[in-house]
Structure 1
Amino acid sequence: MKIALLGYGKMGQVIERIALERGHEIVLRKKSTDSFEGLEKADVAIDFSIPDAAVGNISTCLDQGVPVVSGTTGWLEHYPKMAALCEEKQGAFIYGSNFSLGVNLFFALNVQLAKMMAKFPEYKASMEEIHHTQKLDAPSGTAISLAKDIIEHSDYSSWALPGATPAKNDELLIDAQRIENVPGTHSVFYDSAVDSIEIKHTAHSREGFALGAVIAAEWLHGKSGIFTMKDVLNLS
């Protein structure tokens, strides 16, 4: 399979290594100022760029009929527009806030726990996420995905970052921390007066994110439609 890498930072380079190990060919390594020359040769594109570049990368792929997998976060206000373009072009698109296989299993576990805890209002939910200091968005896309799943199955109406004023009772607080050399840690807490329940996922390196993105690209090749990692892992 011929792959275009849109974004060639640390993640892009790990994706490249894993893709080559799995027998694929890289036909484009695009940094922010580079052109899209070579995209026309690609069977699929993998976008791990920056929020300001993601929409342009994704739309260019869809316009050129190249299936695209995007793991860039911080641009989701434009997701409906990208989904509409994918449908218009009859293209193929996967967005994932986190492509780690373990995190996607964690997503499923989070939903099941949220459904269970909804019956016990004496427990108050909260979250914590920790990432490296180079991460541009806070909270992380992964944390937002976890929060949305909790909100869907509870009485919380929205999520919020801790601020100067106390949180409302229907706000799910996300403590977003940035610490050097932390690939990504996400925790969900349910606290009552008498005990606490916690589930946690800790990434040890970028390898898991990169492998999941390559597996998603392999799965997307030859398909059309809008998908998620639930489809790739048959977790729907």
Structure 2
Amino acid sequence: MNIALLGYGKMGKAIEEIALQKGHNIILRIHDQNLDELTTANLQQADVAIEFTSPQSAVHNILLCFGSGVPVVCGTTGWLKEMEMVQQKCKELGGTFLYASNFSIGVNIFFELNKKLAELMKHQVNYNVSMEEIHHTEKKDAPSGTAITLAEEIIKISQQKNKWVNHFSDVPNELSITSKRIDPAAGTHSVKYSSDVDDIEIIHTAHNRKGFAAGAVLAAEFIFNKKGVFSMKDVLNF
């Protein structure tokens, strides 16, 4: 495939490395210094675009891909209030879109474990659930998109929690997410159920960005020649 990389920071470069190893071509690399090259004509040279930029530019970039007829995989977090509009635009324009808060296969398995544990714990009123996420200091948003996904899945199932907050809270209905920024952490997420007698905790720790990059390339391969709105559940057949 010919791939356009929208965002050429650490993640973009990790994606490039994996894509080239798998025999794909990178035909466009967009970064802060060449934004003028992000045009419909240039995008249309690509079979798929992979978008990892910032919350401020993600929606514009996604809509530009739709308008250019180019399938787009997006891993940028922090813009999800506009997700419903973006998905609707994709359908209206007959586009192709796949968003994930995290492309790592391990994290997507962790998402499924989180939901299963939440189901098992929903009647256990003596346990309080809380979360922690740790990332590098260049991470622009807090809590992470992965943490929000985990929290929202718990809230859907829990009979005690109906909102998450990004600080410690002892309010019974609030799910506390503690965000830490420590270099060179690639990403750690933990979900803990605590009671007076014991703790139950699940943890995912990324060792580097290769898992995220490999998953993003896998997602790009999956949406090639497809139409519609997809997720990593479709890619991994969960």
Matched with 1:3 is 3
> Residue 220 of structure 1 corresponds to which residue in structure 2?
223
Q: Distance in 1 between matches of 2:219 and 2:164?
A: 29
Unaligned runs of 5+ in 2: none
Matched, 1:100 2:104: yes
Counterparts in 2 of 1:183-222, with a 5 A limit? Answer: 183-222=186-225
Aligned pair partner of 1:128 in 129, 132, 148: 132
Is 1:42 the counterpart of 2:46? The answer is yes
Partner of 1:19: 19
Once the two structures are TM-superposed, the CA of residue 110 in structure 1 deviates from its matched residue by 0.3
Which residue among 146, 149, 162 is the counterpart of 2:167?
A: 162
Look up the equivalent residue of 2:10 and give its one-letter code: K
**Aligned residue type for 2:219:** A
Identical amino acids, percent of aligned pairs: 55
**Distance apart, 1:193 and its partner CA:** 0.5
Q: 2 CA distance for matches of 1:77 and 1:161? A: 17
How far apart, CA to CA, are the structure 1 residues paired with 2:150 and 2:25?
34
The Cα shift of 1:17 comes to 0.8
Structure 1 Cα separation of the partners of residues 64 and 28 of structure 2: 14
**Deviations 1:58-93 (CA, angstroms, capped at 9, x unpaired):** 000011110000000011111111111101111110
User: What is residue 144 of structure 1 aligned with on the other side?
Assistant: 148
Deviation at 1:167, TM superposition (A): 3.8
Q: Partner of 2:90 in structure 1?
A: 86
Partner Cα separation in structure 2 for residue 161 and residue 42 of structure 1: 39
Moved over 2 A (4+): none
Code of the residue aligned with 1:233 in structure 2: it is: L
1:70 aligns with 2:97: no
Report the RMSD for the aligned CA atoms in angstroms. 0.9
Instruction: Provide the secondary structure at the position in 1 that maps to 2:176.
Output: strand
Partner Cα distance (2:67, 2:171) in 1 = 43
2:164 matches 1:171: no
Q: Quick one: distance in 2 between partners of 1:133 and 1:167?
A: 27
SS of the residue aligned with 1:119? coil
Q: Which runs of 5+ in 1 are unaligned?
A: none
Which SS does the other structure have where 2:57 is aligned?
helix
Partner residue, 2:114: 110
CA-to-partner distance for each residue in 1:114-135, whole Å, 9 max, x for gaps?
0000021111100000000000
- TM-score (ref. length: structure 1): 0.97
Query: 1: CA distance between counterparts of 2:206 and 2:189?
Result: 9
Q: CA deviation at 1:138?
A: 0.3
Counterpart amino acid of 1:208? G
| 1:53 shift after superposition | 1.1
Count of aligned positions: 233
Q: TM-score w.r.t. structure 2 length?
A: 0.96
